[in-house]
C-alpha cells in the first residue's frame, strides 16, 4: 500500500508562523508535524509515500529529501497553486497507482495511530462486521474522532461501521482515510476539487465505511493549538 500526505495548504489560520515556514514543517514536541506521520507509516511497513505541496513546497522537499533518512521513498506532487484535497489526489494519481491508498492530512497530530491496520481494510470489510456484496463494496474507509470544541456538530454519523451524512451519533473526520483511486475518476488532473462533496456523494449511496479512533488526536489548525501541544507536560517548579 502507498500513502499520500496532504501538505499543500497555505495555513492561513497559522499566520504569521506559516509566512516563512510551510505548516507541515511546524514542530510539535521537537519534530515537524509531517515527520510524525512519515515515521508512523514506515513503522507500519508503508514506505512508498506521495507528498503534494504548493506554498513553500521547496522547503518541504529540502527538509525531507527522498525519504531515505526515514526509511521511506518519497515522491512529490508539486501543485504551484493548491488544488484542495481531491484535486491533489487527482494530480497525483500517476504516483499512487491503481490500488487503495491511505491518505493523511499533514496538519493533524496523532502520534500513536497504527497504520498497519489500514492495509487491507477495504478488502476485508467482513473483519470489521460490515460485509458488502461486490457491487456494494466500500470505496472509502474513514477514521473518525470525538468532536473537538471547534467542531461540536461533527462531520458524519456512524452506525455499525457505515458512514452516513445524517443521523446520530456524529463524529469528526480525523483527516485519515483509505480510498480507492477510482472514486476520483470524475476529477481531472489539474482541477481544483474538495474531498468532502465526493465523500458525501458516496456516503449517501452507502459506500463509505469507517470506525472511531480513540487515541491522541489534535487538529493543529491554529497557533493556540500548536502552543498547547508544545506546552511543558509538567509545570516548572518555582525556587
Q: Is residue 237 included in any domain, yes or no?
A: no
Total number of domains constituting the chain:
1
Q: What is the CATH number of the domain that holds 60?
A: 3.90.550.10
CA torsion sign, 147 to 150 to 153 to 157? negative
Q: Is residue 78 included in any domain, yes or no?
A: yes
**What is the pLDDT at residue 233?**
61
Mean pLDDT over all residues of the chain? 89
pLDDT tens, residue by residue, 15-30: 888 899 999 999 999 9
Q: Is residue 239 included in any domain, yes or no?
A: no
**What is the pLDDT at residue 119?**
84
Q: Is residue 219 included in any domain, yes or no?
A: yes
**What is the pLDDT at residue 128?**
39
pLDDT tens, residue by residue, 40-76: 999 999 999 999 999 999 999 999 999 999 999 999 9
**What is the pLDDT at residue 136?**
56
Does the pTM surpass 0.75? The reply is: yes
Q: Which domain holds residue 156?
A: 2-127+134-225
Q: Is residue 233 included in any domain, yes or no?
A: no
Q: Is residue 29 included in any domain, yes or no?
A: yes
pLDDT tens, residue by residue, 77-136: 999 899 999 999 999 999 999 999 999 999 999 999 999 989 877 765 543 344 444 445
Q: Is residue 238 included in any domain, yes or no?
A: no
**Contact call for residues 90 and 195 (beta carbons, < 8 A):** no
Which among 109, 112, 147 has a CA at the least distance from the CA of 229?
A: 109
Residue 236 has pLDDT above 90, yes or no: no
Residue 151, classified by CB atoms within 10 Å of its CB into exposed (0-12), middle (13-18) or buried (19+), is middle
pLDDT tens, residue by residue, 162-213: 999 999 899 999 999 999 999 999 999 999 999 999 999 999 999 999 999 9
Amino acid at each position: 500500500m502507498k500513502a499520500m500526505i496532504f501538505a499543500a495548504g497555505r495555513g492561513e489560520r497559522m499566520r504569521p508562523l506559516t509566512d516563512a515556514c510551510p505548516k507541515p514543517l511546524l514542530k510539535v514536541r521537537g519534530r515537524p508535524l509531517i515527520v510524525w506521520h512519515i515515521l508512523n507509516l514506515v513503522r507500519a511497513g508503508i514506505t512508498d509515500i506521495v507528498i503534494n505541496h504548493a506554498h513553500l513546497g521547496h522547503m518541504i522537499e529540502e527538509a525531507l529529501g527522498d525519504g531515505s533518512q526515514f526509511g521511506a521513498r518519497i515522491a512529490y506532487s508539486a501543485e504551484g497553486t493548491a488544488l484542495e484535497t481531491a484535486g491533489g489526489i487527482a494530480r497525483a494519481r500517476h504516483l499512487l497507482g491503481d490500488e487503495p491508498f491511505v491518505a493523511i492530512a499533514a496538519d493533524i497530530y496523532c502520534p500513536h495511530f497504527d497504520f498497519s491496520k489500514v492495509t487491507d481494510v477495504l478488502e476485508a470489510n467482513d473483519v470489521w462486521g460490515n460485509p458488502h456484496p461486490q457491487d456494494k463494496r466500500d470505496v472509502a474507509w474513514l477514521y473518525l474522532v470525538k468532536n473537538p470544541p471547534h467542531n461540536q456538530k461533527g462531520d458524519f454519523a456512524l452506525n455499525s461501521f457505515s458512514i452516513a451524512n445524517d443521523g446520530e451519533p456524529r463524529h469528526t473526520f480525523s483527516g485519515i482515510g483509505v480510498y480507492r483511486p477510482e472514486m476520483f475518476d470524475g476529477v481531472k488532473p489539474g482541477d481544483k476539487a474538495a474531498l468532502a462533496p465526493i465523500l458525501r456523494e458516496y456516503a449517501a449511496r452507502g459506500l463509505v465505511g469507517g470506525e472511531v479512533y480513540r487515541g491522541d488526536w489534535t487538529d493543529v489548525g491554529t497557533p493556540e493549538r500548536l502552543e498547547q501541544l508544545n506546552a511543558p507536560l509538567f509545570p516548572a517548579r518555582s525556587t
